[in-house]
Amino acid sequence: MNPTTNKNLSSVWTHATDLLIESGRGCKLLDHSGKEYLDFTSGIGVTSTGHCHPKIVEAVKTQSEKLLFGQMNIVSHQPVFDLVEQLKPIMPEGLDTFFFSNSGAEAVEGAIKLAKQATGRSNVVVFQGSFHGRTHLTMSMTTSKTIYRAGHNPLVPGIYCTPYPYAFYYGWDEQTALDFSIRELRKLLMSQTAPSETACIIVEPILGEGGYVVPPAGFLKAVRSICDEFGILMIADEVQSGFGRSGRFFAVEYENISPDIMTMAKGIASGIPLSGIAYRRELDDRWPPGSHGGTYGGNPIACAAGAATIQVLKEEKLVVNTKIRGNQLMKSLRDLQKKYPVIGDVRGRGLMVASEFGERGKPDVSRTKAVIAAAREEGLLLLSCGTFGNIVRWIPPLIVTEEEIDEGLGIFERALERTRH
Ligand code: PLP
């Protein structure tokens, strides 16, 4: 039965499509009627190695025959050590201590709890448009759309919001947006949350759900230096931008900075639920053992899938592929922008690319929806993002080929043409 018409499934689950999927392979999904779709959603940035990559399937199979579960508060197991060994060489400098959980929101929860314990401070600074999850704490930190927060008050206190340097939205050049954002952050620390009460500043190195916004060069460095000035911990939320998605292993590498804590999920394990935080060892002395945990975190199957995913990313040089295919995609989208002025902006890094519909102050939501629907009819799956839902985000698997990018763009152009008024 189609999940969207199954009366026993919760309606709180929205569905971008009514597809009932049978199987997946590489960049393709096959529905129950045998129709093939080019999946440029990657399950919201999860299936970076493509659907059912043989090496990930093999790692999961092998591990499931040995040990399905080993609870981390009770025992240790080899897959968690293997995962750590795979992670260590790709981490930003100084991040050498790991805690594992199951979802992005849980990783963010862990990061904030650690920051509060390590600093003895209570407050958290977030950026406008961020998405950090849907648990009560992470929802309170999420400002990408009101739907995530409305009806849940009172939210968790001690969370303060400051503007992200979203140049296209403000209609400014990058430098003006950068200066504004840093000025407002400093003002927030002088007017609302005293540095002595501020545990951390959490930032998405590329804004995800809030619009696939690449911040101007210098932004992450400036946040890092404000954190250093006031003894505030910097948390980079790499849940969406991590594991090669940006064309580097982690998007913070673009500014050569290292956060104190980094959150990871989505692309880490090719679809098997796994998330984690990486942090500096010295913070560990201030995190009381037992003050955080969870039954399933670091389970052996997820760890085996995670270790295999990192191996595949390296062996198949997928981070390099991401950069090349991302450049191909952005160049072609910019060409389309000249032909279809409804595309107000094209931006991105690696295979985290946005085409924003409408002009500043006039988001074209209906055209965005129409184009995505028309593309789906022709076999291309795309998602929107942004506060107003007027941004098409391009997140194909990192294994995507030149031909598949061209195929996707061809369908997108036909969808633009068909939806022209
Ligand atoms: N942080 C970021 C940057 C995200 O993009 C997301 C999910 O989209 C989350 C956290 C929450 O992750 P999850 O949905 O796995 O809880």
Asked if residue 177 and residue 247 are part of one domain, the reply reads: yes
Could you tell me the distance, in angstroms and rounded to a whole number, from the CA of residue 414 to the centre of ligand 1? Answer: 32
CATH of residue 47's domain is 3.90.1150.10
Asked if residue 384 and residue 308 are part of one domain, the reply reads: no
**Residue 6 within a domain:** no
Strands 198-203 and 159-162: unpaired
**Residue 259 within a domain:** yes
Distance, first Cα to last Cα, the chain: 36
pLDDT band of residue 2 (cuts 50, 70, 90) is low
Total domain count for the chain? 2
Q: What is the mean pLDDT of residues 125-144?
A: 98
Pocket test for ligand 1, best of 42, 102, 132, 383 (most atoms within 8 A of CB): 132
State the pLDDT at residue 421: 76
**Residue 11 within a domain:** no
Residues with Cβ within 8 Å of 407's Cβ and at least 6 positions away in sequence, in order, are 38, 380
Does the structure show a pLDDT above 70 at 4?
Answer: no
Could you tell me the distance, in angstroms and rounded to a whole number, from the CA of residue 208 to the centre of ligand 1? Answer: 9
CA 411 from centre of chain: 25
CA distances from 311 to 46, 93, 132, 351 (A): 16, 20, 27, 19
Asked if residue 42 and residue 143 are part of one domain, the reply reads: no
What is the per-residue pLDDT across 10-55, written as a single tens digit (0 to 9) for each?
999 999 999 999 999 999 999 999 999 999 999 999 999 999 999 9
Could you tell me the distance, in angstroms and rounded to a whole number, from the CA of residue 145 to the centre of ligand 1? Answer: 14
Asked if residue 311 and residue 199 are part of one domain, the reply reads: yes
User: Edge to edge, what strands does the sheet with 380-381 contain?
Assistant: 21-25, 28-31, 36-39, 380-381
pLDDT band of residue 126 (cuts 50, 70, 90) is very high
- Mean per-residue pLDDT over the chain, rounded: 97
**Residue 31 within a domain:** yes
Continuous segment of H or E residues that includes residue 200: strand 198-203
Asked if residue 323 and residue 286 are part of one domain, the reply reads: no
Domain boundary among 315, 335, 350: 315
Asked if residue 132 has its Cβ within 6 Å of ligand 1, the reply is yes
Asked if residue 265 has its Cβ within 6 Å of ligand 1, the reply is yes
State the pLDDT at residue 44: 98
Asked if residue 270 has its Cβ within 6 Å of ligand 1, the reply is no
Encoded tokens for 70? 């080993």
Q: Cis omega before residue 154 (within 30°)? A: yes
| AA identity, residue 20 | L
**Residue 197 within a domain:** yes
Give the Cα separation of 367 and 412 in Å (integer): 12
Asked if residue 69 and residue 181 are part of one domain, the reply reads: yes
| AA identity, residue 93 | E
Asked if residue 245 has its Cβ within 6 Å of ligand 1, the reply is no
What is the per-residue pLDDT across 140-176, written as a single tens digit (0 to 9) for each?
999 999 999 999 999 999 999 999 999 999 999 999 9
Nearest ligand 1 atom to the CA of 208 is: 5
State the pLDDT at residue 274: 98
Q: What is the mean pLDDT of residues 226-234?
A: 98
Asked if residue 266 and residue 378 are part of one domain, the reply reads: no
Could you tell me the distance, in angstroms and rounded to a whole number, from the CA of residue 262 to the centre of ligand 1? Answer: 13
Could you tell me the distance, in angstroms and rounded to a whole number, from the CA of residue 135 to the centre of ligand 1? Answer: 10
**Residue 3 within a domain:** no
Asked if residue 237 has its Cβ within 6 Å of ligand 1, the reply is yes
- Of all protein residues, the one whose alpha carbon is nearest to atom 13 of ligand 1 is 104
Asked if residue 227 and residue 132 are part of one domain, the reply reads: yes
What is the per-residue pLDDT across 252-311, written as a single tens digit (0 to 9) for each?
999 999 999 999 999 999 999 999 999 999 999 999 999 999 999 999 999 999 999 999
Asked if residue 103 and residue 165 are part of one domain, the reply reads: yes
What is the per-residue pLDDT across 246-264, written as a single tens digit (0 to 9) for each?
999 999 999 999 999 999 9
**Residue 4 within a domain:** no
Domain span at 400? 21-53+317-418
Kindly state the percentage of the chain with pLDDT values over 70.
99
Does the structure show a pLDDT above 50 at 1?
Answer: no
Does the structure show a pLDDT above 90 at 189?
Answer: yes
Asked if residue 136 and residue 260 are part of one domain, the reply reads: yes
Asked if residue 297 and residue 332 are part of one domain, the reply reads: no
Could you tell me the distance, in angstroms and rounded to a whole number, from the CA of residue 339 to the centre of ligand 1? Answer: 34
**Residue 90 within a domain:** yes
Encoded tokens for 218? 């210098």
Domain boundary among 315, 343, 358: 315
Give the Cα separation of 336 and 331 in Å (integer): 9
Asked if residue 326 and residue 218 are part of one domain, the reply reads: no
DSSP state of 204: -
CATH of residue 65's domain is 3.40.640.10
Domain boundary among 284, 315, 346: 315
Asked if residue 142 has its Cβ within 6 Å of ligand 1, the reply is no
